[in-house]
Amino acid sequence: MSKKKKIELLVGEELLQKVRELETVSKEDKAKQCGYFTITKNGIERVNMMKFLNALIDAEGIQLDSSPSANGRGGRSASYRISVQSNGNLLIGSAYTKQMNLLPGDEFEITLGRKHIRLKQVDGNDLEGGELEEALD
């Protein structure tokens, strides 16, 4: 059984150029010729299509993941949905206050509507995203 030499994975502009050159071949063959395959113990070539497609997305500069938070760590992101707590309070989490650059001591005026709650900073500026829709339907 002869071992086939592994092709170096192409990335970035080299990957894009190679894919353009191979416009008439199948996507599996493009992935193979760009180095996105492995050879099993039995000598079978397996195309790593997900790795190939992710490399193409990266090479094009497309950002699919949300940008990391200010502290550089992942974790949960704000869902813009809250529930009334057992004590009757609504808690707006720190993810929202950080996103809106709110500081301890900032004051708000609360206006109740039929199906919304509006928060307005006391200094007179409406907050972007300051409305919370009630789920009373």
Number of structural domains (the chain) is: 2
Asked if 49 and 100 sit in the same domain, the reply is: no
Residue 1 lies in a domain: no
Q: Is 31 exposed, middle or buried (0-12, 13-18, 19+ CB in 10 A)?
A: buried
What sections of the chain are H helices per DSSP? 12-21, 27-33, 49-60, 94-99
**What pTM did the predictor assign?**
0.45
Q: Give the residue numbers spanning the domain of 41.
A: 12-60
Residue 122 domain flag: yes
53 plus 89 within the same structural domain: no
pLDDT tens for the 137 residues of the chain, in order:
445 556 788 888 999 999 999 999 999 999 999 999 998 899 888 999 999 999 998 888 887 766 555 455 555 666 667 788 889 888 877 777 877 788 888 888 888 888 888 888 877 454 444 444 444 43
- Within-domain flag for 89: yes
Asked if 129 and 88 sit in the same domain, the reply is yes
Q: Say what the alpha-carbon torsion angle 12, 13, 16, 21 is, to the nearest 10 degrees.
A: -140
